[in-house]
Amino acid sequence: MDINLTHYLSTMAYNSAYIGLFIAIIALAKLSYNLATPYNTTSQLTDNANSALGLSIGGYLGAITIIYGFVLAGPSKGLVSDLMNVSLYSVLGMVLLTCSRILNDKLLLRLFCNQEQLINQQNEAVGLVQAANYMAAALIIGGALTGEGTWLSAIVFYFLGQLMLIIFAKGYDHLTAFNLHEQLEKGNKAVALSFSGTMLALAIILCHALIGGFHSWQQSLSLFFIDALFGFLILPIVRYLVDKIIFSKISLDQAMHDKNTAVAVIESSIAICVAVIITIAI
């Protein structure tokens, strides 16, 4: 196979600029996370070995990576323009993800203080849910920024996505035999895995509605709410089928209550896999 060495080296140099920017963005994201919290994240991670906070920060950095990837995969307008757009949208992502932490504390998991659970209790279950919420928000932001998405569309669909996640959390709580907030406060990682996987599955479906060219608000909003309704309907059905077919000899709710993380991993994985197949098939 013939290789144009000059072209290959120039392409590597071109792509190195994006890699260098990504490293800078990740460093800035870690700094912004630290500045937006009243505690010292470095001390918590190194001195206290706080794995709950580690999960939360890992989800936050993963979310920044998702947004970065979505913007980078969009139409190119030249190296300098692309680097500027990716930088600006990544900063926007950091701001919106900080909002996610507040909404997560005040609305999604409102019955206890998230900071108390992460820092004083080092509750890994809460850290896991917070990480999943960051990545779910990033999928929605990234989807809104693809094609001809704008700052306004990203912000609008971000808040609509957060609203859908909050509504879904309430529905999830009613459909299960256990109390979501109570189990998370007790550090039940099986419940955290189950809820996080289902929340990410819904975000993948919502992201599917936003990917592509932005033609009009009416069309984008219609697709978004149609896919949201579809997700609200299909994901509980998937959970029911997992309960009755995959784990027919046990109760899925009882397994979650008994902190069976093995069953929770399978359940959440199936939910995510179904969401991915939906995005490919529709």
Q: Tell me if 34 sits within 8 A of 58, measured CB to CB.
A: no
pLDDT at residue 123, as a whole number: 96
Long-range contacts of 163-170 (CB under 8 A, 24+ apart): 164/202, 164/206, 164/228, 164/231, 165/108, 165/133, 165/136, 165/137, 165/199, 165/202, 165/203, 166/103, 166/107, 166/108, 167/232, 168/198, 168/199, 168/202, 168/231, 168/232, 169/108, 169/195, 169/199
DSSP state of 121: S
Q: State the pLDDT at residue 7.
A: 63
pLDDT of residue 1: 47
The per-residue pLDDT for 124 is 96
pLDDT at 224 (0 to 100): 86
pTM exceeding the 0.85 threshold for the entire prediction: yes
Tens of pLDDT along 32-56? Answer: 888 888 888 889 999 999 999 999 9
Position 59, amino acid? G
Task: Give the residues of the chain that fall short of pLDDT 70.
Answer: 1-10, 147-149, 212-215
Structure tokens at 266: 């399978």
Q: What is the structure's pLDDT at 250?
A: 86
Q: What is the pLDDT of residue 8?
A: 65
Q: What is the pLDDT of residue 148?
A: 60
